[in-house]
Amino acid sequence: MAQQIALRDGRQLDFTSGPLVMGVINATPDSFYANSRAEKTGQAVDFARKMIAEGASILDIGGESTRPGSDPVDPEVEKSRVVPVISAIRDLSNIPISIDTKKATVAAAALGAGADIINDVSALRSDPEMLPLAAEAAAPVVLMHMLGDPKTMQDRPSYDDAVQEILHFLITRANEVVRAGVDGSRIILDPGIGFGKRLEDNLRLIADLPAFAAPGYPVLVGASRKSFIAHVVRPHTDGDHSDSPSAAEVPPERRLAGSLAVHVVAAMKGASILRAHDVGETSDAVRVVRAIAAAARHRVKGEA
């Protein structure tokens, strides 16, 4: 697995000590987790300041919700949401910033405002101008797997072998992106937890995460507070002992513990970046994983 990725200005994303935490800031009125929404620039800056203090290594800024069933946003509206936020955060800190968008004009404006990374849920496929932009900008890119688009992706998704099919897509797409001029050392893969996946697919992707790390690209896991967690954890309602609770029974506000469980497993299985709404709690969990791993290495060295 790649241990570092160079940003455009020479700074490095360094994964040698374990996964980095990417804090989520949604400059939107409709993202699925209400507590991640920052509709005013000042609120987004407050979020950023808090996340940096809590241990975020990257901030991911988005101006268009990609929750299941969501509608696309006009590019000018999206730019008006994210550019002031990115500019304000850049005035506050030199922390690496990721722009979460499928649109080249939005990505270009965000990069101009100080963003460092392009995080595209369509793997640079939705907008034909995105790939040449990424190549010219020499910015790291996150290539994510998604069936269809956010509006339709959860309409009965199906796989024969989710891990192999998604891995094949990501490696094929990475090769295409490299041939188009993007530096392969700046590619990050994201299996797309929750994006056109059934419960069993999401669980298998997390369990088999080493398969995605094996080709050598850093792997991003974005599972924070997603609905698949709601179908596993215990409902917090009196008298309800359902074996398979619904997302309505366990809303995003009640999915922190499940999110942390996923983050711990992902950290142990080779994730390089954990995209999280709850930066402080996720950072603490990663520190514990690192400490346990260090203790194991020390024991093995002592027995050698």
pLDDT of residue 36: 87
Residue 11 lies in a domain: no
Top pLDDT among 3 and 245 is at: 3
User: For the domain that residue 199 is a member of, what is the CATH number?
Assistant: 3.20.20.20
The CA distance from 279 to 288, in Å, is 14
Q: What's the total number of domains in the chain?
A: 1
Residue 171 lies in a domain: yes
* 255 flagged as catalytic: no
Residue 49 lies in a domain: yes
pLDDT of residue 60: 98
Residue 143 neighbours by CB under 8 Å, 6+ apart: 120, 123, 124, 170, 173, 174, 177, 187, 188, 189, 190
Q: Which of the residues 275, 287, 297, 299 is marked catalytic? A: 275
Q: Dig out the tokens for 14 from the structure.
A: 């360094």
Residue 2 lies in a domain: no
> Mean pLDDT, the chain, as a whole number?
91
The CA distance from 18 to 33, in Å, is 27
Q: How confident is the model at residue 156 (pLDDT cuts 50, 70, 90)?
A: confident
Structural domain of 122: 18-303
Q: Which of the residues 103, 197, 226, 255 is marked catalytic? A: 226
Residue 1 lies in a domain: no
- Is 110 within 8 Å of 61 (Cβ atoms)? yes
Kindly report the pTM of this predicted structure.
Answer: 0.91
* 49 flagged as catalytic: no
Q: How confident is the model at residue 132 (pLDDT cuts 50, 70, 90)?
A: very high
